Amino acid sequence: MPLDPKAPGAEAAAVEALARAAAAGDRAAFEPLVDRLAPGLHRFAARLLADPAEAEDVTQESFARLWKAIAAGPMSAPARPWLYRTARNLCVDRLRRRGRWLDEAAAPAETTADPAPSPEAATAAREASADLRKAIDALPERQRSALLLVHVEGLSGRETAAILDASEEAVESLLARARRSLRATLSAKESER
Amino acid sequence: MKDGIEPEIGAERFAALLEAYGAEPARWPEAERAAARRFEAAHPQTAEPLLAEARALDRAIDRALQAHAASALSPAARAALHRDARTSAPPPPRSLAARLAGWRPTEWMGGDWRPAGALAAALFLGLLGGTAAPTLVPFAPAEAVAADPTVEALAEDAALYLYGPGAALETPAAPDQTEATR
């Protein structure tokens, strides 16, 4: 996972420094912004859309809007949450057009690579991961977005609140509900076995 | 937080933090992180079971989401993003030598310099012609034209043609000729 536990907030600070430099006309700051933000942004969009190719379009469109915002003058919000918010809105639009707002998105091909001590344990672990992945994809969009942004992308509760247009307390509630739901899924599957 | 000092948190708040953010302190809200770590150190019997449960769910989520790594940006998409970034960046500043080498009067004068230049040239030529006119265009006075023998001969030819041979052009005789006939 991209989260760096030793430097919480450091990535956000580095991104904001680059965004300020870009807004000041420093052309050397533009491509590093792509390097730092594009992989996570694409990962987030791919998970929301369950479609890596469509997520590339969303990533490209989000960056095109970021460049326009930077060219227009000082940005009204920090660049990282601004970009994720733009990408999420684009994803939500696409999901609505698909008619899959509360979708059960197709799970990507399984690529779990954790070594397991025995074939039985490996099979059980793969099944548990597949079940949990389906449970994540079945979460309501706001719970899923909050979980992906905080757990996978390492954004803070405050940044996630800005992206979801919610309070930090509301984000905490979304996260707690998402995790309770996933824990219930795991418990149910374990009791079946 | 008051005066820069984080308030202490209790077991209930510690459990709520883990319920929402999981076991990794980097995900906890910055304003409560230090207090949560202090609670963890001060109450290990309460904190450890909660942390173990949250850690197990974190790992399960991580395993379930490992498919993200397989759906990384394609090289073509990455190249397109970099190309867009380069074209969106402001152009590099030109050196003084490059600016001088590329200098054109039109840049300095602006795009609509031709009409203004033509007007200035016309004004200059007009002034030049006006000041130099007395020497350049010597119009002769009327007396000098009348005394010119060439002009007088042309007038006689015209009278002969118009009125015939009898119509001699009456011109005053020269003083010296009058004196000779007397």
Verify whether the Cβ–Cβ distance A60 to B66 is below 8 Å: no
Residue B82 with chain A: CB contacts under 8 Å: 31, 34
- Tens of pLDDT, residues A60-107: 999 999 999 998 887 888 999 999 999 999 999 999 998 755 444 444
Please name the residue that has the structure tokens 């909050």: A146
ipTM of this predicted structure: 0.81
Q: In a 3-state reduction of DSSP, which class is residue A21?
A: helix
d(Cα B22, Cα B5) in Å, to the nearest integer?
A: 24
Mean pLDDT of chain B: 73
Query: What does DSSP assign to residue A51?
Result: -
**In this predicted structure, what is the pLDDT of residue B157?**
64
Verify whether the Cβ–Cβ distance A110 to B67 is below 8 Å: yes
Q: Crossing angle of helices B30-42/B11-21, nearest 10°?
A: 120
Verify whether the Cβ–Cβ distance A158 to B29 is below 8 Å: yes
Query: What are the residues whose beta carbons fall under 8 Å from the beta carbon of A84, sequence distance 6 or more?
Result: A41, A44, A149, A153, A155, A159, A163
d(Cα A182, Cα A189) in Å, to the nearest integer?
A: 11
Query: What does DSSP assign to residue B27?
Result: G
Distance from CA of A179 to the nearest CA of B (A): 7
Evaluate whether B43 touches B11 at the Cβ level (below 8 Å): yes
**In this predicted structure, what is the pLDDT of residue B134?**
52
Residue A167 with chain B: CB contacts under 8 Å: none
Verify whether the Cβ–Cβ distance A33 to B82 is below 8 Å: no
Phi, psi of B2 (to 5 degrees): -130, 130
- Tens of pLDDT, residues B102-157: 555 555 454 455 656 567 767 777 776 666 655 554 455 555 555 555 656 665 66
State the average pLDDT over residues B74-84: 94
Least confident of A87-91, B3-7, B54-58: B3-7
User: Hey, is the C-beta of B82 within 8 angstroms of any chain A C-beta?
Assistant: yes
Bridge partners for B2 per DSSP: B5
Task: Tell me which residue of A19, A37, A73, A27 sits closest to B89, measured CA to CA.
Answer: A27
Largest CA distance in chain A: 60
d(Cα B63, Cα B71) in Å, to the nearest integer?
A: 15
> Using CA atoms in the order A164, A166, A167, A173, what is the torsion angle rounded to 10 degrees?
-80
Put simply, the chain B residues between 158 and 177 with a CB less than 8 A from any chain A CB are none
- The type of residue at B132 is A
Bridge partners for B5 per DSSP: B2
Distance from CA of A4 to the nearest CA of B (A): 8
Distance of CA B1 to the CA centre of its chain: 51
Q: Mind listing the pLDDT tens digit of every residue in chain A (193 residues)?
A: 545 544 557 888 999 999 999 988 898 999 999 999 999 999 999 999 989 999 999 999 999 999 999 988 878 889 999 999 999 999 999 999 987 554 444 444 334 444 455 677 777 777 778 889 999 999 999 999 999 999 999 999 999 999 999 999 999 999 999 999 999 998 887 777 6
Helices and strands of chain B, counted as H and E runs: 11, 0
State what percent of residues in chain B have pLDDT above 90: 38
Evaluate whether B18 touches B11 at the Cβ level (below 8 Å): no
d(Cα B63, Cα B26) in Å, to the nearest integer?
A: 19
